[in-house]
A and B are shown apart, each in its own frame.
Chain A
């Protein structure tokens, strides 16, 4: 069975082997336009709260 892309780097060194590496779904969601538009709105709202608390 072929190595999955997200598993490829685990073998490179011990540091990578102990890290979390996102799988296919998580990586796809990072550039999914619809999901990212929703996140864009949410992140902006969160940032506005932090910015307003800081001024």
Chain B
């Protein structure tokens, strides 16, 4: 009997674990290690953050689902890896520390034959003074990164709306809280959902809403922007996005590295090197992501973290990490199998793998401050990668070390993205977009780096319907209800 350990129970980890358990059956063991007791459909957190969904609607208990799937569930966080075992044995193991199940604080060594690292990110609030400490949200801003954060944000938003109803003016500042953030899409959705809710509440005229982002231009989204088919035109996402901001009267600051957050005020540096500050009554700033800080040790107990993980804490996989200038970046730099090059029984999926480089054009201010988005690896690509990696591990277990590894390069896969701009079955709107491929390939598609036959976008009520239906569909799939496997990632 082989044992597969999956670190993390998010989109990538949950997908990998549930498919692996299904494909391997009871002959082998699948163990999930995740510090969370609940699964969270993160894309719907923005609706929790504006009070349009409850925390309970976007989460469910993992324990009964894993029991049903025959998965061993350990509510714990991974601390370190010993891919060669230790002095007392050759079996690789991961050291975990429980966060629940009545064993909080206790450590355990879990041996494995294969391991998938799908821990997701550390929400690095501590990277910006005042934004938070370590992975803890600070007191000056709110967040929609977790369901708890989003619930807190909705309460703070409700207080602002009450003030506006009494005639007070409120200023909203939404965006990214550091020069190297990713996930601009979540902030984009949140700002337009706030705008929509304020309009519904009849207090839009009392609100100043402002966007602040590390993107060099609106619509970069960490993908260097994209050109998409809109109404028969091939249009830059910059024009598409600027149109929405202008239509809704939302002013914006781009190319900004927020370097300090205080009560009611942020200070920032722009790409031109100038400094500025912005006041706010309500602010949601996405933190930068980092690896969760897993350590790795060899058999002798020496620290080999640098061998297994990149400096940002994400796991090295089969990508081309050779540093080279932007002009020489290629689609083929991106990983295909997500196998660690040193330890072949280690894989990474979702945010946990180290990308070879960013996708957007690198940018620095004259002061040397790096201000560019890091690559998005969430949502659909996360699920597809998780499934491909699970498939590879299952084949390795069943067919031996020579088994074919499955591939899921972000430079060859597309992504469907639905960005909400307001919730409501009759008056909601969302930008429905597809991009193919996620990482541009200028050798294959010399014009825009992407196939414009499969890269399109439009905004409207239909997009909202799709996003809302996807919410129910993915919650259903994650709960492993009948026919869950036919729902694509």
Question: Can you list 21 pairs linking A and B with CB atoms under 8 Å apart?
Answer: A9-B246, A12-B249, A18-B242, A20-B242, A20-B246, A21-B246, A21-B247, A29-B460, A30-B461, A31-B427, A32-B461, A36-B462, A40-B465, A47-B434, A49-B454, A50-B434, A50-B454, A51-B416, A52-B488, A53-B436, A55-B488
B residues 235-290 in Cβ contact with A at 8 Å: 239, 242-243, 245-247, 249, 251-252
Interface centre among A15, A29, A30, A54 (most CB of B within 10 A): A54
A residues 7-43 in Cβ contact with B at 8 Å: 9-10, 12-13, 15-16, 18-22, 27, 29-33, 36-37, 39-40, 43
- The interface residues of chain B lying within 8 Å CB-to-CB of A52 are 488
- The interface residues of chain A lying within 8 Å CB-to-CB of B489 are 55
The chain B residue sitting closest to A54, CB to CB, is B413
Tally of A interface residues using CB under 8 Å: 33
Of A12, A13, A18, A43, which contacts B432 at CB under 8 A? A43
Q: Measured between C-beta atoms, what is the minimum distance from B376 to chain A in Å?
A: 15
Contact, CB under 8 Å: B249 / A40: no
The SS class assigned to the A binding surface is helix
Q: Is A4 in the interface zone, CB < 8 Å from B?
A: no
The chain B residue sitting closest to A42, CB to CB, is B462
Q: Is B466 in the interface zone, CB < 8 Å from A?
A: yes
- Residues in B lying within 8 Å of A, measured CB to CB: 239, 242-243, 245-247, 249, 251-252, 380, 384, 387, 413-416, 426-427, 429, 432, 434, 436, 454, 456, 458-463, 465-466, 488-489
Given A15-B246, A20-B243, A54-B413, also A46-B456 (CB < 8 A): yes
- The interface residues of chain A lying within 8 Å CB-to-CB of B461 are 30-33, 36
Complex alpha-carbon distance, A19 and B218, angstroms:
12
Complex alpha-carbon distance, A53 and B249, angstroms:
37
- The interface residues of chain A lying within 8 Å CB-to-CB of B454 are 46, 49-50, 53
- The interface residues of chain A lying within 8 Å CB-to-CB of B413 are 53-55
- The interface residues of chain A lying within 8 Å CB-to-CB of B245 are 15-16, 19
